[in-house]
Amino acid sequence: MATAMSHQSVGFSVSRRSSSSPYATISQPLRDSLSVATIGFKNHSSLSYTSRRNRNLYKTEAIASVSYHNTALSLSKNIPENSQNKSNEAALILIRHGESLWNEKNLFTGCVDVPLTEKGVGEAIEAGKRISNIPIDVIFTSSLIRAQMTAMLAMIQHRRKKVPIILHNESEQAKNWSQVFSEETKNQSVPVIPAWQLNERMYGELQGLDKQETAERYGKEQVHEWRRSYDIPPPKGESLEMCAERAVAYFEDNIEPKLAAGKNVMIAAHGNSLRSIIMYLDKLTCQEVISLELSTGIPLLYIFKEGKFMKRGSPVGPTEAGVYAYTKRLAQYRQKLEENSEVICS
């Protein structure tokens, strides 16, 4: 396996997807991540990830944009193409959730919904401090509690002191009952949109098993293949390729339009769903992505401008002024926060 790739480099620019990518026809779209079969897929390791699915075949079930100008915090469909301004600049923050209870116990977790450990809570808080001066307009998380806890704990460290509010779209009643009717309150809130498409990859019959015991039972090579290959799923589970089908499709349809409209986005998700998105952003090959390692609770910053994603590494901390001078816009945002803080203190 290739040497693990570091994701701390600065200034790397990648173009947006191409709809004519050969990846669009690799496999049938993944309809339901919780009912997948053990299927092998052909590995095209020489190709980079640009667009993985045919738009006419695959339609995500998730909701796209958020409007604060309606009567309540509510969801609507994708931002129309004609409303997107390519001159807009936006920040994209990616955070892998903090340590979970099953991470601590060395168990395969996958889509099992377990919370953070005390250490994981601390990692989420520290992540929030690192991004406390970067603007955030909307947050996307998986439907799993460990990612949602990370998003909430990180956001409450932000210097704007906006309140993260989870939007419920599971039923009309849920939407109606969770409405906010104060414009002032809505302006002091940040919508949090859960999406199952951003869930961790489903580990099938390995979920809940001890990783060391599983290696002793099936053999280290077999378990390593299930965990680190691109296109070989564990029994009745997902491969990384299958996880990427849903995660990248959701990103393209729901998150990228927001960035194109100038909205600053934070995504709190999981190792494999984020690796899938980074594969798309950085145009990594199948072989490159399997050696990509993401630490828990360490935010990664991208700048989206003129249809391109520019990788900026990981913010060091709120006291590192240089981190926020990646662009003039971020520097101005930080300066405004400082000025507002001085007014409050005086």
Within a domain: 7: no
The pLDDT of residue 315 is 78
Within a domain: 230: yes
Could you confirm whether 200 is annotated as catalytic? yes
CB 270 within 8 A of CB 147: yes
Range with the lowest mean pLDDT among 53-57, 90-94, 206-210, 230-234?
53-57
The pLDDT of residue 35 is 37
The pLDDT of residue 44 is 37
* Position 80 pLDDT exceeds 80: no
| Torsion angle (degrees, nearest 10) of CA 226, 205, 141, 328 | -10
Q: How confident is the model at residue 87 (pLDDT cuts 50, 70, 90)?
A: low
The per-residue pLDDT for range 236-270, each reduced to its tens digit, is 999 999 999 999 999 999 999 999 999 999 999 99
The pLDDT of residue 332 is 77
The pLDDT of residue 28 is 40
Q: Between 115 and 331, whose confidence is greater?
A: 115
Closest Cα to residue 250, out of 275, 273, 283?
273
Q: Between 88 and 343, whose confidence is greater?
A: 88
CATH number of the CATH domain containing 32: 3.40.50.1240
Within a domain: 101: yes
The pLDDT of residue 70 is 35
Q: How confident is the model at residue 317 (pLDDT cuts 50, 70, 90)?
A: low
The pLDDT of residue 279 is 97
The pLDDT of residue 220 is 95
What's the domain range around 328? 12-345
Within a domain: 1: no
| Torsion angle (degrees, nearest 10) of CA 171, 177, 180, 182 | 150
Within a domain: 144: yes
The per-residue pLDDT for range 141-183, each reduced to its tens digit, is 999 999 999 999 999 999 999 999 999 988 999 999 999 999 9
311: enclosing H helix or E strand = strand 308-311
Task: Choose, from 97, 158, 241, 245, the residue flagged as catalytic.
Answer: 97
Binding residues for substrate: 96-103, 109-110, 146, 200-203, 211, 227-228, 271-272
* Average pLDDT of the residues of the chain: 78
Token pair of 208, please? 């809940």
Task: Choose, from 123, 200, 238, 245, the residue flagged as catalytic.
Answer: 200
Q: Please state the pTM of the whole predicted model.
A: 0.75
Within a domain: 61: yes
CB 109 within 8 A of CB 79: no
C-beta neighbour count of 344 within 10 angstroms: 7
The pLDDT of residue 342 is 60
Q: How confident is the model at residue 329 (pLDDT cuts 50, 70, 90)?
A: confident
Q: How far apart are alpha carbons 258 and 66 in whole angstroms?
A: 9
Instruction: Please compute the mean of the pLDDT values over residues 34-51 and round it to a whole number.
Output: 38
Residue identified by tokens 């809130």 is: 189
Q: CB-based burial of residue 63 (10 Å sphere; 0-12 exposed, 13-18 middle, 19+ buried)?
A: middle
Task: Please state the length of the chain.
Answer: 346
Q: CB-based burial of residue 44 (10 Å sphere; 0-12 exposed, 13-18 middle, 19+ buried)?
A: middle
Q: In sequence order, what are the residues at sequence separation of 6 or more whose Cβ sits closer than 8 angstroms to the Cβ of residue 316? A: 130, 323
Within a domain: 3: no
Within a domain: 4: no
Q: Between 334 and 183, whose confidence is greater?
A: 183
The pLDDT of residue 335 is 77
In total, how many domains does the chain have?
1
The per-residue pLDDT for range 201-228, each reduced to its tens digit, is 999 999 999 999 999 999 999 999 999 9
pLDDT > 70: percent of the chain: 70
Instruction: Please compute the mean of the pLDDT values over residues 286-294 and round it to a whole number.
Output: 92
The pLDDT of residue 337 is 78
Q: How far apart are alpha carbons 139 and 151 in whole angstroms?
A: 8
